[in-house]
Amino acid sequence: MTSVAGGGGGDAVEVSRLWHITLSVSGAEAPLAEVRRALEQLAHDHPFLLTSRYARDHAEIRYWEEARDLHDAAAVALRLWGEHRSTARLPPWEIVGLEVIDRETYHQRIAEGYGPLPATPVGVHPF
């Protein structure tokens, strides 16, 4: 459901919401130092990046995205890896998983003791 707020002049204005994104990528093995450096560059380029975990052949990236609805949040998430592949020199891996949940669902999962644990420590870490 999209939130709508009243704007000036009676126009309806769509309000953005926060979405918790978990993007999983994998592919051919790459040197760990190169994977770490690339993910650190991605975190620098994408300031909402909370945490990345990585190995030689896969990585998981978690962050918050602001978007109008789930479809928009998922579309942005699915473009993230490809759009930053050359600038961050990311491995040529493919996206193999995507989870997009709203803020309320994220906090409900945490309160119930399951679902992605809070991203601590924040940053880029090996699996």
Question: What is the pLDDT at residue 122?
Answer: 73
Q: Is the model's pLDDT at 6 over the cut of 80?
A: no
Q: What are phi and psi of 24, to 5 degrees?
A: -110, 135
Q: Which of 10-19, 31-40, 57-66, 85-94 has the lowest mean pLDDT?
A: 10-19
Q: Which residue has the higher pLDDT, 13 or 105?
A: 105
Give the strands of the sheet with 49-54, arranged side by side. 94-102, 17-26, 58-67, 49-54, 123-126
pTM of this structure: 0.82
pLDDT in tens, 54-96: 999 999 999 999 999 999 999 999 999 999 999 999 999 999 9
How does residue 118 score in pLDDT terms, banded at 50, 70 and 90? low
